[in-house]
């Protein structure tokens, strides 16, 4: 019985040693195959598939450049032109320009007469019948209409006085020692008489005497383009007590 058990144990030991041997051989074989699969691409890179390599190594395209910035807006410089005319009178300029630019006018193109070809023998000019009519007729001159009323300063109006009545000093104002200037607004007609006379400012004691005196004043007619026009102006009447 002991012998049988010994023989059975020896058979089991032999079987276990054989299985271990085959396991070791299998492990070594699999490891060798795996090592070859890793080393072959490193030693021979030509063996790798080219399409996969190109796909893996190709960089993506760069992003498109940003759009250019919009152009800056144009700066508009507003030039204020100040007229040198005040009350239809030239005034001195406020500053003298450093450079004076010469403006050259281009020569007008020659005028061509209108007409129909072959009509020169009918007594017209060389430009034809229509050309002869336009060239022979005088062009009417258009005359600008003068304004009905213009405004001038009191100083300009004072230089146009032909007849001036001195206002009488009111007794009540003289007794109260009141003096000053009465400013009147008036319209000088085309014949030089005073119309639409009214008070703008001044002491009430002096206004009536100033109105009575200025109504009789006479002015030289104001001419614009050779034609008399009505003038709107101011009249200053000064009342001063003698020392």
What is the full per-residue pLDDT of the chain (243 aa) written as tens digits? 444 544 455 555 566 677 788 888 888 998 888 888 887 777 766 655 666 555 555 677 888 888 888 888 887 777 666 666 666 666 666 666 676 666 565 555 555 544 444 444 444 444 454 554 545 456 666 665 656 788 888 888 888 899 988 899 998 988 889 999 999 999 999 899 999 999 999 999 999 999 999 999 999 998 888 889 999 999 999 998 875
Q: What is the pLDDT of residue 67?
A: 87
Q: What is the pLDDT of residue 121?
A: 45
Q: What is the pLDDT of residue 8?
A: 52
Q: What is the pLDDT of residue 125?
A: 47
Backbone CA torsion sign across 196, 202, 204, 210: negative
Q: What is the pLDDT of residue 54?
A: 57
Q: What is the pLDDT of residue 104?
A: 61
């Amino acid at each position: 019985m002991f012998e049988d058990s010994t023989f059975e144990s020896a058979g089991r030991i032999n079987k276990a040693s054989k299985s271990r041997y085959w396991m070791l051989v299998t492990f070594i074989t699999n490891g060798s195959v795996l090592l070859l699969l890793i080393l072959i691409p490193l030693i021979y890179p030509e063996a790798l598939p080219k399409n996969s390599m190109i796909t893996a190594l190709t960089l993506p395209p760069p992003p498109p450049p940003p759009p250019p910035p919009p152009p800056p807006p144009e700066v508009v410089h507003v030039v204020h032109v100040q007229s040198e005319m005040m009350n239809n009178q030239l005034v001195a300029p406020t500053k003298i320009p450093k450079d004076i630019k010469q403006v050259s006018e281009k020569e007008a193109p020659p005028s061509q007469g209108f007409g129909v070809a072959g009509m020169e023998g009918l007594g017209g000019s060389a430009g034809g019948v229509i050309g002869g009519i336009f060239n022979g007729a005088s062009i009417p001159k258009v005359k600008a209409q003068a304004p009905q009323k213009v405004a001038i300063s009191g100083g300009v109006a004072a230089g146009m006085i032909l007849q001036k009545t001195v206002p009488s000093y009111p007794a009540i104002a003289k007794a109260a020692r009141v003096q000053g200037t009465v400013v009147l607004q008036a319209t000088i007609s085309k014949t030089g008489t005073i119309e639409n006379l009214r008070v703008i400012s001044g002491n009430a004691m002096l206004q009536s005497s100033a109105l009575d005196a200025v109504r009789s004043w006479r002015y030289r007619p104001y001419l614009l383009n050779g034609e008399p026009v009505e003038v709107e102006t101011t009249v200053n009447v000064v009342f001063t007590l003698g020392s």
